[in-house]
Amino acid sequence: MMLSIYLGLAATGALAAVETEEVPIEVVEVVGQTPLGAGLDIDQIATNVQSATAEEIRKKRALSLADFMNRSLGSVFVNEAQSNPLQPDLQYRGFVGSPLLGLAQGIAVYQDGVRINEPFGDTVNWALIPESAINTVYLMPGSNPLFGLNALGGSVAINTKNGFSSPGTKAKIYGGSYGRLGAQAETGGSSGESFSHFFTASYLEEDGWRNYSPTEATQLFGDLGWRSDKLTTHLKFSAANTDLIGNGAAPVELLETDRTSIFTRPDQTRNQLRFVNLIGNYEASSDLTLDGNVYMRASDIDSYNGDDSDFEECDANPGFMCEIEADEEKLVLDQHDNYIQANQNVDGATINRTSTEQTSIGFGIQAAWRGDLDGRNNLFAIGMAFDDSKVDFAASTELGQLDDTRLAVPSGFFVRESFTKLSTETRSLGFYLSNVLSISESTTLTVAGRYNDIGVKLRDQLGTALNGDHDFRRFNPAIGITTKLAGGMTLYAGYSESNRAPSPVELTCADEDDPCRLPNAFLSDPPLDQVVASTYEIGIRGDMFDASWHTGIFQTTSNDDILFVSAGALTNEGFFENVGRTRRKGLEINVDGILAGSATWFINYTYLDAQFRESLTLPSPHSPAAINGEIFVAMGDKLPLVPAQLLKMGIQFNPAERLVFAGDVLANSGFYMRGDEGNDRERIGSFAVLNLRADYQINEQVQVFLNIDNVLDEKYETFGLFGDATEVLGPAISDKRFFSPGMPRAAWIGVQLTL
């Protein structure tokens, strides 16, 4: 699906699409490959947009886009559930964009106008976004309807580089702690004024700071462009191959002995990506612009997870393996319909495999007119977008045993009932429009809306139990207004709505009586309702004494929010459920500026109140507060894993002519664990992390750099849940808390070449 970032901004009055006599503003059509630039008037944005350029991302030396956003952008927080640097659960205003199935996804991510949330579960694979190809990135807050599905709490819009915008050749290589070795190279340029080329590649490998947790990732990106006086086209293609092991949370008592330890292993995810996107922009006249694109994206995900086991030798039928269901034993059949005999090779572990093959194709077209409306400058845009995604999913569970390192060793015996083979197709059609009107010289009004029509088809490949057809439709409106005040200040206010249709993985796992082992088994379940979010926002901003500042308040309410409700050991079993209303409201303060003519600094502070707005009862069998395996959640209880306060601040300066020194602090308050939705236990503790960087320019071509993360070696956790380790580690390990620890002190040194 093609989506104009220009329209996404216009939905809340974001783009200066009209001209006034006093302040002429160039109209810039922003579609896919075109970065926002001179045409963006900050005073006409009716929300708190944050942005960054390729150079700003480079200076941070961040490992990925998600890592950069966590370090630099306000209201962003990362739960390191997997403890793998390329598998973060990124939060923005309490909404999540994560590669893990089972989370309440609420952030839409676009690369060159194509939504790259995976079709099976709306997940976001941050490891597949080519960081070295990013030219600009925009973080849009609120429920902006023109960003389509899943833009409940915010949207990320990425524009990639091309030969016109990024000429020249650069390369860098770096290495350091935990065996990390990384390399990037890029080259771009143009032939005359018509043809351009840009190519970049990156490679990363590391052993990981926790035991048995290596990572390897390769990314490729290219752009071929052509332009004339009226027509511009770009053919963009991406490829990626990653092998990520993130062994996740471990019992707190184990971590107290050794913070590098893991529980069971491996937890391995392999990703392969092929992505082609053809974008066109045609200036039919000075008042009319046409934009369009067509794309194909294929993403294959294979997982191999070694876990502890819910299967054990039967009491009533000794010598055979059983599964305990509702306090009753059930004999287990293997793949050949034979009862599995009990022995050490099948007792103590399970190996859960999944294969997800996803292919999406889509296109979009839009037209934008600017002109005079009753003597006032006006821009009107209208468009449509279509996506068709097909998914083939397969899963199985194999019995095994845990060796001395808690590696799950397979036995060759598969649980017959665990086999799942499902094909899905999701079709999405959207029609959208936006109008930006200059009411006066100081005030701009934007109205916008989008109609979504989504169909989800499920076809069981092993029978008929999973078959289903589901349709979801909705029109989402938005309105925004900005007005300039005295003293260079701007006041803004906006309202917007967005929806998310239940994904195929949610529709096949929604029955509390038959919980799923995500993502390894699915059931024939009743349909879920789509999630609808509405956002109110008001704020004020301005400039003073070489500094820009902003403060604003917001509130987003989600109706029929879909959560994965835990129902089994280590929360690897559960079901999706509409849990009613949740609400996230808060205060944002952002200040950045220049000090002493050269030093730059920033401060971002967020207060966030994220809570359930309905009372309910949820399964949490390992919570110490559970009664018969359930906990009570009262209206007003806080959402788990969401800190109430975030503070980020940093400074960069030149202590010598060729030396750049920078540092930043990331701090947050404590938060409740997953499984403690009733807020019955103590929070995970607050923490603050100091990071330092230094660059030294040897000459025009050569720069060396040093990064030190967590300089003070802070011991902290970003994720927690309840579990039971006694079956694996013995009764001495009685604490039900499982944590994912944060990375200790680490340093990397590298060199960058500019040719």
Residues 576-633 have pLDDT tens digits of 778 789 999 999 999 999 988 789 999 999 999 999 999 988 878 889 999 888 899 9
Distance CA 288, CA 370 (A): 7
Q: Looking at this protein, which amino acid is placed at residue 462?
A: L
Closest CA to 129 of 96, 92, 97, 175: 97
- Give yes or no for residue 678 having a pLDDT over 50: yes
How does pLDDT run across 539-570, given as a tens digit for each residue? 999 998 889 999 999 999 999 888 766 554 33
- Residue 194 and residue 226 in contact, taking contact as beta carbons nearer than 8 Å: yes
CA torsion angle 172 176 180 185 (round to 10)? 0
pLDDT at 38: 30
Q: Class assignment of domain 5-309+348-754?
A: mainly beta
pTM of the full predicted structure? 0.93
**Whose structure tokens read 């340029």?**
189
- Residue 580 and residue 528 in contact, taking contact as beta carbons nearer than 8 Å: no
Phi, psi of 654 (to 5 degrees): -115, 95
How does pLDDT run across 99-143, given as a tens digit for each residue? 988 778 999 999 999 999 999 989 999 999 999 999 999 999 999
How does pLDDT run across 421-459, given as a tens digit for each residue? 999 999 999 999 999 999 998 999 999 999 999 999 999
Cis check for the bond before 266: say yes or no (omega within 30 of 0). yes
| Dihedral sign computed on CA atoms, order 454, 523, 152, 388 | negative
Mean pLDDT throughout 396-408?
96
Q: Classify 390 as helix, strand or coil.
A: strand
**Mean model confidence pLDDT for the chain:** 89
How does pLDDT run across 18-65, given as a tens digit for each residue? 333 333 333 333 333 333 333 336 677 899 999 999 999 999 999 999
Q: Measuring CA to CA, how many Å separate 215 from each of 13, 83, 114, 255, 293? A: 42, 11, 27, 21, 34
Distance CA 502, CA 513 (A): 19
**Whose structure tokens read 């793949």?**
335
Q: Where are the domains of the chain?
A: 5-309+348-754
Q: Classify 443 as helix, strand or coil.
A: strand
- Give yes or no for residue 4 having a pLDDT over 70: no
Least confident range of 8-17, 291-300, 681-690: 8-17
Q: Which residues contact 522 (CB under 8 A, 6 or more apart)?
A: 395, 420, 422, 466, 505, 508, 509, 516
Q: Classify 136 as helix, strand or coil.
A: strand
Closest CA to 608 of 76, 154, 138, 72: 76
CB-CB neighbours of 52 under 10 Å = 20
Phi, psi of 109 (to 5 degrees): -125, 130
Mean pLDDT throughout 362-375?
91
- Give yes or no for residue 91 having a pLDDT over 70: yes
Q: Which comes out higher in pLDDT, residue 668 or 469? A: 668
How does pLDDT run across 498-523, given as a tens digit for each residue? 999 888 877 777 666 666 654 433 33
| Residue 330 DSSP one-character state | E
Least confident range of 180-194, 375-389, 499-513, 703-717: 499-513
- Residue 567 and residue 326 in contact, taking contact as beta carbons nearer than 8 Å: no
Q: Which comes out higher in pLDDT, residue 475 or 376? A: 475
Phi, psi of 520 (to 5 degrees): -110, -5
